């Protein structure tokens, strides 16, 4: 556990928040993810998408992972609808990354619950993700920085809330996160330069 904490923990935390329905959300989210990537010297990145398709609200991560795999099956993506990363296999996933990709940066992606005014926002945060914190689970931290989507209101009966979250909002947020990641240099590692995406790539209607 101590080794994984040293690998993933960063004491400098900063948070960037964007509403998925903002007409310029793709542009801003892509730029922020690229900014976070540029803070590190890693040539390669691993994307770890945490969650399960057994719960609508918790399916954000696996939806992103599956879409990223459709873009390019050769990329280092963990956590899909077919092969989810969840509480039972998270430590095993961390061990695999440490053994096979020790020199890679880690982007962690997960759903989260929050205040009513935060529902529908996507947060890009420097430092490791603490999965399961919203439902009182003590799981290992992961990520040099992480992306979370606030899918519903937290604070009471979290498991029930996740089960009864609208799939529509989860899918729209997953689409946005996927497209933003595929526009960055961590995905287009053979590209000589980074190009900011054109606004309007994702339909927010």
Tell me the domain boundaries of the chain: 2-182
The DSSP line for 112-159 is EEE-GGGTTEEEEEES-B-TTGGGT-----B-SEEEEEEEEE-SS-HH
Residue 189 corresponds to which tokens in the numbers above?
């590692």
C-alpha to C-alpha distance for 102 and 106, rounded to whole angstroms: 10
pTM comes to 0.84
pLDDT number for residue 135: 56
Give pLDDT, residue 37: 96
Q: Edge-to-edge strands of the sheet including 15-19? A: 15-19, 121-126, 145-153, 105-114, 45-49, 77-78
**How would CATH label the architecture of 2-182?**
3-Layer(aba) Sandwich (3.40)
Burial class (CB in 10 A: 0-12, 13-18, 19+), 147: buried
Give the tokens for residue 43: 């040539």
Mean pLDDT, consecutive 10-residue segments, the chain of 205 residues?
35 79 97 96 96 93 96 92 95 96 96 92 96 72 97 78 88 97 83 37 34
């Amino acid at each position: 556990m101590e080794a994984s904490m040293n690998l993933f923990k960063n004491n400098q935390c900063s948070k960037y928040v964007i509403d998925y329905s903002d007409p310029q959300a793709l542009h801003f989210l892509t730029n922020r993810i690229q900014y976070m990537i540029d803070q590190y010297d890693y040539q390669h990145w691993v994307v770890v998408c945490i969650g399960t398709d057994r719960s609508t609200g918790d399916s954000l991560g696996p939806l992103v992972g599956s879409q990223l795999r459709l873009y390019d099956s050769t990329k280092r993506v963990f956590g899909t609808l077919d092969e989810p990363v969840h509480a039972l296999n998270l430590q095993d996933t961390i061990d695999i990354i440490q053994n096979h990709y020790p020199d890679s940066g880690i982007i962690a992606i997960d759903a989260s619950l929050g205040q009513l005014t935060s529902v529908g926002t996507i947060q890009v945060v420097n430092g490791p993700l603490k999965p399961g914190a919203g439902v009182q689970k003590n799981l290992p931290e992961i990520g040099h920085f992480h992306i979370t989507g606030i899918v519903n209101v937290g604070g009471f009966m979290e498991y029930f809330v996740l089960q009864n979250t609208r799939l529509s909002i989860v899918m729209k947020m997953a689409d946005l996160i996927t497209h933003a990641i595929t526009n960055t240099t961590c995905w287009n590692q053979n590209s000589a330069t980074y190009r900011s995406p054109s606004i309007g790539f994702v339909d927010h209607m």
